[in-house]
Structure 1
């Protein structure tokens, strides 16, 4: 898995201090790990964006201004509801061999036959929450769509990654090939209508 280096500084806590950091182009965050005291930190917004806006999961090499270094993952990001800019983040420290949960991106591979027929790809699940060893974190999960025709779909239950437990609802749809607007399924041939029978003439009785 790719490792990204993130330089951070120990910060003061409090709303006023956090707002001052944001005005200076920095994002307040927290580093925490089992058995360790949480560390309030801050990083440059430009550096954090490289970690947030990516199609891969990464291990973070956190380098603090006090000389300490930690291996961690990005656990959570809070965004401003108006500007959609990151305003806070959480980093979770890794311990060798420990089981962790995290979000892993889904990447579609292959060409779906249904698309060549005019179908449209609906990629409904872009990330999945998984549980795995900290030593075997997948960068992403590949989903092969090369056998999908119009009307076909792949669900969470269809994903199988050795050593990784997927925590999402197994019935959730990951990707589907839907028909284009105006697409009509060929109607079944109607059975031939039976010809109306000619009413039988009543028998003429002899006088």
Structure 2
């Protein structure tokens, strides 16, 4: 779904002009693509921000420019890192029925089995979809999955009309067994021993002192 926004063409450029536009609670933007010259416009700040929020990373906006309607697919949004306001937007012009290549975020759904650790190896996937039917995200169910499960790109369920463009063997989610602190310490000691690394006595003394202090504090609390 595209959201309709009325845009104004602009002829002033540069940092000074951009600052004036933003002071009026508007956003400078540019549209390019389909072999046409870039079109520089000004967008209403609040309406555009809400449209981008609803549309997600690949928001599609129907831009009304000088009485003509143009579909613009969001390609880059520049945000001020301090004030978190939109400074500039780049759109690519698309037409209905046209297919585009986009990056779509991966959304995990559910909870894996007990004592597991879930690692998302790929947070976004590249796919080809119709410009007017780009999914906001690709859901991946991990409900009840045991340790040792790996979900590859080829395992994903894509919406109708979407085609995967990245390597089907790309690892998306890796579910492993959760490791306890004791097991991690044991692995570290084993690795150090194999590497011929000996722990300093001072380190052991510190560990022992720390353990004694913890014991003393526990006793004092009980008293």
Same fold (TM over 0.5): yes
* Partner Cα separation in structure 2 for residue 156 and residue 82 of structure 1: 36
Q: State the match for 1:182 in structure 2.
A: 180
- In the TM superposition, what is the alpha-carbon distance from 1:83 to its structure 2 partner? 4.1
User: Aligned-residue CA RMSD in angstroms?
Assistant: 3.0
* Whole-angstrom distance in 1 between the partners of 2:107 and 2:100: 21
Label 1:142 to 1:87 Cα distance change in 2 as closer, same or farther (>3 A). same
Q: Distance in 2 between matches of 1:87 and 1:178?
A: 42
- Per-residue CA distance 1:69-96 (angstroms, 9 max, x = gap): 1122212112334444322111122223
- The DSSP-based 3-state class of the residue aligned with 1:17 is helix
| More relative contact order, 1 or 2 (CA 8 Å, 6+ apart) | 1
1:134 and 2:139 correspond: no
1:143 pairs, out of 122, 140, 143, with 140
Could you list the runs of 5+ residues in structure 2 that have no partner in the other structure?
Answer: 185-223
Change in Cα spacing, 1:81 to 1:39, as seen in structure 2 (3 Å) is same
Determine the C-alpha separation between the residues in 1 that align with 2:111 and 2:55.
Answer: 21
Larger radius of gyration: 1
Moved over 6 A (4+): none
2: distance between equivalents of 1:84 and 1:177?
35
Give yes or no for contact 1:6–1:60 (8 Å, CA) kept in 2: yes
Looking at secondary structure, tell me which structure has more helix per residue.
2
Please tell me whether the aligned partners of residues 30 and 91 of structure 2 are also in contact (alpha carbons under 8 angstroms). Answer: yes
Structure 2 equivalent of residue 26 of structure 1: 26
Task: Indicate conservation of the 8 Å contact 2:73/2:131, yes or no.
Answer: no
Cα contact 2:52–2:59 (8 A) shared by 1: no
In the alignment of these two chains, the number of paired residues is 180
1:88: which partner in 2?
88
Q: Unaligned 5+ residue runs, structure 1?
A: 186-207
Deviation at 1:34, TM superposition (A): 0.1
Q: CA deviation at 1:180?
A: 4.5
